[in-house]
Chains A and B, each alone.
Chain A
């Protein structure tokens, strides 16, 4: 089955620093990748949609200069949380897919803690 690898699985960083999260599709080419954020006991919130080779489309209320998304190849997308603050602490999840009538394949998430 299709596998999406997300790395790191957890990270602790100091306030003001930047953190990069990687999302890789291991056995398929993902034309589209999605990034989500999930707070405890809440549902997933879509942050942005990333298509290979083009700029990401951000959801309303998500700061594009704070959450930098790069989708340089069909198998890799990265999310960089810049100048992280404690309120950015959350569970970040990526998913990858091919055509819109195909399933989404999710990574196992990255738990970010900003101290």
Chain B
């Protein structure tokens, strides 16, 4: 199974400041079709997860442009350019390149 390792596990951030979360996979996430199926999801308290970014850097419909994804191969990053209060929650990276799909342990974003 592909292990997804996220850092940090907790990130206190000041409103209006940037935030960054890293995700490393135990093996390359490049699929045989050439795509890299690395996604980022946000889970606000008491809600189901919500897709933010798919295939490394594609912002899902309705996701604010302060969210961006980057990376390649085994190393990936989610960045929030300016954190807003509504961004509080847990962020997960996830790979769907191969079964079983696997998630990182989650990074809790909180406001200082």
- The answer to whether A and B assemble together is no
Chain A interface residues toward B at CB < 8 A: none
Chain B interface residues toward A at CB < 8 A: none
